[in-house]
Structure formats: C-alpha cells, structure tokens
Structure 1
Amino acid sequence: MKKYKTAKTSSPFTLEPSPLNIPCVILSGGKSSRMGEDKSLLPFDKYNTMIEYQYKRLKPFFKETYISAKQNKFDFEANIIYDNNHEIYSPMVALEAILKYLKNDEKIFIITVDAPLVQINTILDLYKNSSSYEATVAVCEEKIHNLCGIFSHSLYKSVTELLNNDIHKINYLLRHSNTNYIQFPENGDFANINDKTEYQNLLSYYKPL
C-alpha cells in the first residue's frame, strides 16, 4: 500500500504576495464532456470565467503564470502555452508542451482550472516538499490529485516516451517516476467540477474572500 507523507502546516500567506520563483500553469484545454460546455468559461466569483479567476488569483504568487490550452478562447490578456496536438484531449499532451516551453525552469507548479479552492498555503507546502523529487502531488482521503503539484523538467523525456507509446495517464507517469505524495486534510479545498451539479455545489460551498 502506498504511503503518503502528511503536509506540515505552514504559516498562512499574508495579503501581500510573496512570489515563488517558479512558474505556474493552469490546465484549461480539456474537453468538458460531462459538463456539456467548456467549464473553464463558466462564471465564478466576480469574474466572467473560472479561468480568469484562477489566473488572476494565482498570478501574484509566482514568477510567471500561464494557461495551457488548445486555442486562445479567453476574454482577458494571459500568457498561453498551446498544446502541440489539437485533436487529442490529454493532460499528457499538455504536460509535454508545458515542459518543452518552460525548458529553462527546473520546477513548475501545475493545477487544473476546475480546482479553484486550492489554497496558496497548500501550494507552498507542495513546493517545500518538492526539492528532491521529480513530482510532488497532493493526496486527500486516499485520492491522488495528479494535476495539482510540482513537476520537474527532468520528466520531459519520460513524458515524450509515454506519448510515443500512446500512454496518456498522468498516474502512470507518477507511479514510474520519483514522486512525493503529500497528504492533506479533507476540507473542501480540492473540490473540482465535472458536471452541472458539481458546479452548483461548488458555487454554494465557495465563500468569497
């Protein structure tokens, strides 16, 4: 049975941004099949879209912030990393493009657009535990959040090889890499949305800062 490390509670971030010297990439190129429409473009908080909320709330805390997408579908200015393959909807395809584009960055924080409640403290805990690992990802109640974590550029070769063998599961990559799994308490921070009901539940749960 896989063993998970429990995150050490860090001091809360103050309201003054303290940027991490790594880039952040928000994944927003999914198909949103169960939602029936592009969930990244659903309204959230005071913003027209969830992706704008994610981008603008995370941007102050990182060296650079990017959106991973297949095309520019946004109504605000943002740095975009485009997928190399416009026909396959796969986080592995997105990861390959990210690692290739950010080749000069040793570590990159990656998160999905549909996890808008993940706290900055959580991200900081992941970063603090990532120094000697190829990937460091969050775990909550035995559920591994494969796309909420710190990824190293050293994974690029493995990602390319997996895609060449038509393997698209991020979980497979993590299992065959030097991955650190960090346990976090269940407090709703990792809630994400896949359908209309989950979206409405998220809106009910969310309390603006």
Structure 2
Amino acid sequence: MGSDKALLPFGASETLTQFQLQRLKPFFQSLHVSAKSRAKFNFDASFIEDTASYQEHSPLVALLSILEYFQIPVCVLSVDTPFVTPEVFETLYANLNDETDALVATSSSSSHQLCAIYSPSIIPVIRTLLERNEHKIRSVLAQSRTRFVSFQDDALFFNVNHPDEYEEAKRRL
C-alpha cells in the first residue's frame, strides 16, 4: 500500500483504527488495538503490543500476544476490513464451543483468518510454529480444531490492501 493502513484517514475518523474502534465499541465489552508498538498512534486506546519474544512481527505473533494477554476466547478483526458488522461476530460466537480452537469467517471469495474467534487452546500450536519461524495463520488452522462459518455477503469482507481499494472503501461509506 505504501503507507500504514492503520493510520489512514477514514470517514469522519482521523484514522482507520479509530473508525473501527468507534463503530464497534457499542457492541463489545472492551476493544483493544493489537500493534507492534503503540508509539505510532496519537490517540488514547487500550493497546496490546506484540510479545518481544519474537524478532519478526506478523499477525501470528500478534495473535499469540492477544491470547496470552487475555487467556479467554477473543474476537479478532484486521483493521483493513472496515465493513465487517457486529452481526458477523454474533454468528461466529453462536458457533463457539469447547471443542473449537478457531472459528473463522468465510465467504465465496476466501476464508478470513483475521475475522475470527480464537481460543487460548491454540497457543501451543502457535508457539510451535513460531519456533520454526512459520508465521502463516493457515498453518495454525490446519493443525487445530477449526470451524469455518460461511457468510453470503462478500462485501462485508472488503479488504483495503491497495490504494484503489482504499479509495473504493471511502466511496462505500
């Protein structure tokens, strides 16, 4: 993308991160921002920084940091999917049980590993993969008790990865 997506202005919010926090806050008991470092953010929020145990930063390191911090199942959403609704997480949560390590949203276009609920039971698998310098969430899912929950509306999972997608997302608001 060429710039940090989390810090891009979006809608009436100064950043995409703040947009996500503001729109989702009414639906969750607490919201937290996972980041390599909180230093780049100039607003107040609850931050969970990546564990310093690993030199590389990746979504998998972030997921481990989150799960180690909370030690309960957590909803995870990447900052660059601004149209995922709270109802998506309600549906995922309705499918949560003790025999599931991960509940992942899917649509006709893809599975969405960063729109999911993860249980701390998955921590040992994550640690093993990171020790082997493997950072793919798909690898974790393949070695865990994962359930995929299908959603019909692909537009919910529109992802902002490129400048043209960022412009399209702003038009969709």
Return the TM-score normalized by structure 2: 0.93
CA distance in 1, matches of 2:153, 2:29: 29
Mapping 1:61-80, distance limit 5 Å: 61-72=27-38, 73-80=40-47
Structure 1: stretches of 5+ with no match in the other structure: 1-34
Q: Which moved more, 1:70-79 or 1:165-174?
A: 70-79
1:100 aligns with 2:82: no
Summarize deviations over 1:15-70 as a string: whole Å, max 9, x none.
Answer: xxxxxxxxxxxxxxxxxxxx101011111111000000111221222222110001
Amino acid at match of 1:122: V
Amino acid at match of 1:68: S
Name the one with the larger helix percent: 2
Contact in 1 for aligned 2:84/2:157 (Cα 8 Å)? yes
Mapping 1:60-209, distance limit 5 Å: 60-72=26-38, 73-85=40-52, 87-103=55-71, 105=72, 107-131=73-97, 132-206=99-173
Hey, what does 1:11 align to over in structure 2?
Answer: none
Amino acid at match of 1:159: I
CA distance in 2, matches of 1:145, 1:81: 21
CA distance in 2, matches of 1:190, 1:108: 19
Q: Which moved more, 1:183-192 or 1:45-54?
A: 183-192
Task: Please state how far the C-alpha of 1:87 moved relative to its aligned partner.
Answer: 4.6
Secondary structure at the counterpart of residue 41 of structure 2? coil
Hey, what does 1:42 align to over in structure 2?
Answer: 8
CA distance in 2, matches of 1:46, 1:65: 19
Structure 2: stretches of 5+ with no match in the other structure: none
CA distance in 1, matches of 2:165, 2:90: 27
Secondary structure at the counterpart of residue 81 of structure 1? strand
Amino acid at match of 1:127: Y
Secondary structure at the counterpart of residue 29 of structure 2? strand
Higher relative contact order at CA 8 Å, sep ≥6: structure 1 or structure 2? 1
CA distance in 2, matches of 1:157, 1:87: 19
Return the TM-score normalized by structure 1: 0.78
Task: Please state how far the C-alpha of 1:204 moved relative to its aligned partner.
Answer: 1.4
Name the one with the larger strand percent: 1
Task: Please state how far the C-alpha of 1:148 moved relative to its aligned partner.
Answer: 0.5
Contact in 2 for aligned 1:138/1:182 (Cα 8 Å)? yes
Paired residues, what number? 170
Task: Please state how far the C-alpha of 1:75 moved relative to its aligned partner.
Answer: 2.4
